[in-house]
A and B are shown apart, each in its own frame.
Chain A
C-alpha cells in the first residue's frame, strides 16, 4: 500500500465525502451546480443520486448516517461488530451494536473513491490473504487489516454453509487480528423442520454470544420496536416490487441499490422507512402517469440480474442501464422473503412471518428472517433443489417478465461460478436469454467496464433484445 494511502483513514475519508454529499442540496440549484465543479471525481455519482430527487437525497443521507454511526461508534461507547451484508441488522440494532458490514464499505469505497478500493484489495494479499478471495470483502478488509478503519470488538457472520470465501474472510480476520468470532452455520436445506430447528438453536447461541460480548441482555421492548419497523419496511418494499411488474416498470433503476443497500445497512431504522416511502411515492407517480422509471420515461427492455450488480466507480452501471432505457428488475440481493413479498405469495412455506407476540416468537422470527437473507436462502444447497437459486430465479422471471437475465459476480465466488453455466442453460431452456459476464463487480482490473458494456451490447444485439 502506498504511503500516502496510509495517511488517510479509509472509513473517515468515505464518511467525509458522503456527509458533505448529503448536505450538497441544502443550498440553491446554482450553488449545487458550482459544487459539482469542485468535486470532479465524485460529481457523477453524486449527481446520479441527486437527479432522483428526494429518494436520492434520502439515500445519501442514509449512507452518510450509516458511515457516521460506524466511525463514531467507539467514541459513543457503542459495541462494534464486523459482519457481512447477508446478516440481517435488526438483532444487532436491538443489542445497540453497530454493524460494520464489509461489503457495504467495499461498495462505498468502490463507488466513491477515485481509484476504487484497488490498494485495499491488494493489501489483503500483502498480509497473506489470497488474491483469489472475494473482492466484496477484500476492498474494506484491506483497510481494516491496515488499521485504517474502526477495529471491531467481535465478529459475527452467517455465511458458513452458504459461501466459503465470505465466511473465510471473517474467520481470517478473527485469526489475524485476534478478535472473538461467532458463525451462524446453515444446513443445505431450508424448508424442512430439521433445518429450521438447527437454525433456531444456532440463532440462540448467537444471542448468547452477543450477550456475553455486549454485557447486556436482549430487551423485549427494544426488539419489538425494531421488528415493528421491519414489518413496515417489508410492506413498503413489497409495494415497490409489485410496481416493478408493470410494463413499463415505473421504478427507476437506481432504486435497486437503494432498496437493498438501505436495507443491508439500516433494516429496522426509521430512516430506511422514510427512504422506502419516498421511493414508493416516486414510483407510484410514474405508474399513475404510465411512464417508465428511466430518465427518458421509456422502457426498451427489462433486465434481471441473477446474482449481484456491478459497483465500480460512479454508479455507472445504473447510469448505463438508464441510458439504454433498460428497466432494472433487481437481483438476488433484492429478495428478503418476507411473507407479503410478491415473489413469496405463491410460496408461503418459504417465507418468514413477523410475530412479535412474545420474546420467543420474536427470536424465532429473527432466526427465520436471517436464514432467508439474499444468498443465505438461495445458495445453501444444490442450485436446482426446491426453494434454491433456480427456483427463486424462475419465480422472479414469471413475476417480473424480464427480457433477459445477466450474471455478474466476483472472481472469488466459487459457489456461483461452480454452477452459473448450468443456471444460464436452464434459463435458456425456459426461453429466457441469459448472459454470463466475466466481470468482477468490485474490481475493474479483472475486466474493464468498457469490456463489460461491450459484452452486454453484443448480447442485446445478438439476441435482438429491445430492438
Chain B
C-alpha cells in the first residue's frame, strides 16, 4: 500500500493515472491549493496537482520566465515544454502567487512555439487575497464560471448531487489525513515525516476513492506500528512548497523526525473541512477562501502564528525549520517574523532558503541541519 503511494508521489504519469487515462477519462491539472478539487471531481475528472519533479534542465522554463522567478513554476513549464504533462486534458491556473500566475502567459506563449504542449482546456481561476463577504461572493462566481467552462468544454454536467458527494468524499479523506497527523505527531510517533509527505502527495495525484480506501488501510496498520521517535529530535517543517520527500529524508537522516508541518504541499490541504449542508458552492467558497495558512492571504499573520504555535505545542516539537524557495518573498519574509516570535516563546528555529528541484544542495542543507540539531540537543 505504501508502495502504491510512493509510486504516485514519485512519478508524474504513474500507473494509477495511466489506468485512469486508459479508461478514457479526463485529467485536469492545477498548481495551487486554492483551486477547489471537488469541482473537478464532481465533473467526473481527476484533479491532479501539478509539480515540477524530475526536471534535469530549465532550458524552457528559463526561456520564458525571467531570472528572478521561483523555480517551481519554471520546473512545471519545463515539464510541460518537454511534453511530460501531455496526459493532462486541461489546466487551471490561479493567482496563488505572482510567479505562479505568470505560468499562465509563459505556458500559453511557449505553446505557440512548441506544438502540442498546451492542453485544449486552459482556464484562469482568480482568487481574492482576503476573506470578506464580497470576496466570498467573487470566489463563488469563479467556481460557477469554472463549472460552466468545464461543462461546455468537456460536455459533462456537474450536478448538485455529484458535488455534494465529492464534498463528502474529500471531507472523509481529509479527516483520515488528520488522523494520520495524530499518529505522526502524537506522544509516540508512528510514521516518518518522509512517509507522511509521500502519503499527502499521493492524494494530490490519484483518484480520491482509491486514495481514501488506501488511507483507511494505512491508518489501521499504523495503529499497530511501533513508535519510531525514540532518541530523535521532533521537528516541524514550515514554509513554501515542498513536494520532495527526499528533502524530508535528508532532515530525518540527521537524527530528527519531522512530526508536523505547515507546508503548501503538506497539511494545509486537509486542515479545513467543507460544510456539507447548505449551498455546496457557497460552502466551498468559505472553505477555500477562509484558509489563511498561506501568506498570499495578506494581513493574517497572527492567525498563522497561532496555528503554528498550536501545532508545535500539540506535536511537542523541539524545533522548527522555516524554509522557503528562493524568490518566494511571501513565505521568506514571514519566516523572518515567525523566527522572531517563535524564538521569543522558546521554540528554536532555523531559516533556510533553497531551490526547488533535485537536491543539488544536499551537502549545505545537511550541514545546516546537523548544526541546528546540535544547537537544540
A interface residues with partner B (beta carbon < 8 Å) = 127-130, 132-133, 160-161, 163-165, 167-172, 174-176, 181-183, 185, 187-189, 194, 197-198, 201-202, 205, 382-384, 411-422, 425, 438
Contact = CB atoms under 8 A, between A and B. Distances in A.
Contacts of B132: 201-202, 205
Given A132-B332, A198-B138, A202-B132, A176 B337 contact: yes
A210 B299 CA distance: 16
A418 B126 contact: no
A177 to B, nearest CB: 10
Contact of A164 (B97, B324, B336, B337): B97
A392 to B, nearest CB: 15
B99 A185 contact: no
B298 A132 contact: no
Contact of A185 (B109, B124, B135, B333): B135
Given A132-B327, A414-B69, A185 B102 contact: no
B83 interface: no
B68 A411 contact: yes
Nearest to A383: B105
Given A132-B326, A181-B299, A418-B66, A172 B129 contact: no
A181 B98 CA distance: 21
A82 B130 CA distance: 19
Nearest to A420: B66
A418 B99 contact: yes
A164 B138 contact: no
Nearest to B341: A175
Contacts of B6: none
Contacts of B135: 185, 198
Nearest to A446: B68
B128 interface: yes
Given A164-B97, A185-B130, A417-B65, 8 more contacts: A168-B330, A172-B333, A175-B301, A183-B130, A201-B134, A414-B69, A416-B66, A417-B67
B329 A160 contact: no
B373 to A, nearest CB: 22
B309 to A, nearest CB: 14
Among A168, A175, A188, A189, the one with the most B-chain Cβ atoms within 10 Å of its Cβ is A175
B65 A175 contact: no
B298 A414 contact: no
A130 B336 contact: yes
Among A133, A172, A202, A425, the one with the most B-chain Cβ atoms within 10 Å of its Cβ is A172
Nearest to B326: A132
B335 A128 contact: yes
B301 A171 contact: yes
B38 to A, nearest CB: 22
Contact of B68 (A132, A160, A198): A132
A417 B124 contact: no
B271 interface: no
A175 B306 CA distance: 13
B106 A168 contact: no
B337 A165 contact: no
Contact of B332 (A130, A174, A176, A382): A130
A263 to B, nearest CB: 25
B7 interface: no
B26 to A, nearest CB: 24
B340 interface: yes
Contacts of A127: 336, 340
A174 B300 CA distance: 10
A161 B129 contact: yes
A83 to B, nearest CB: 14
B141 interface: yes
Contacts of A163: 98
B172 interface: no
A182 B135 CA distance: 14
Among A130, A416, A421, the one with the most B-chain Cβ atoms within 10 Å of its Cβ is A130
B267 interface: no
A436 B213 CA distance: 53
Contact of A128 (B106, B299, B336): B336
B144 to A, nearest CB: 11
Contacts of B67: 417, 438
B134 A183 contact: no
Among B63, B64, B98, B332, the one with the most A-chain Cβ atoms within 10 Å of its Cβ is B98
Contact of B95 (A165, A171, A188): A188
Given A130-B332, A164-B296, A205-B132, A187 B106 contact: no
Contact of B64 (A205, A384, A422): A422
A174 B63 CA distance: 37
B334 interface: yes
Given A132-B68, A133-B329, A414 B102 contact: yes
A419 B332 contact: no
7 shortest A-B CB distances, which residue pairs? A128-B336, A418-B102, A417-B66, A175-B301, A130-B332, A414-B98, A160-B129
A127 B351 CA distance: 12
B333 A187 contact: no
B299 A171 contact: yes
Contacts of B141: 194
A183 B333 contact: no
Nearest to A436: B66
B56 interface: no
B203 interface: no
Given A414-B327, A419-B106, A422-B105, A171 B298 contact: yes
Given A129-B336, A160-B298, A202 B134 contact: yes
Contacts of A132: 68, 326-327, 329, 332
A129 B353 CA distance: 12
Given A185-B128, A202-B134, A422 B332 contact: no
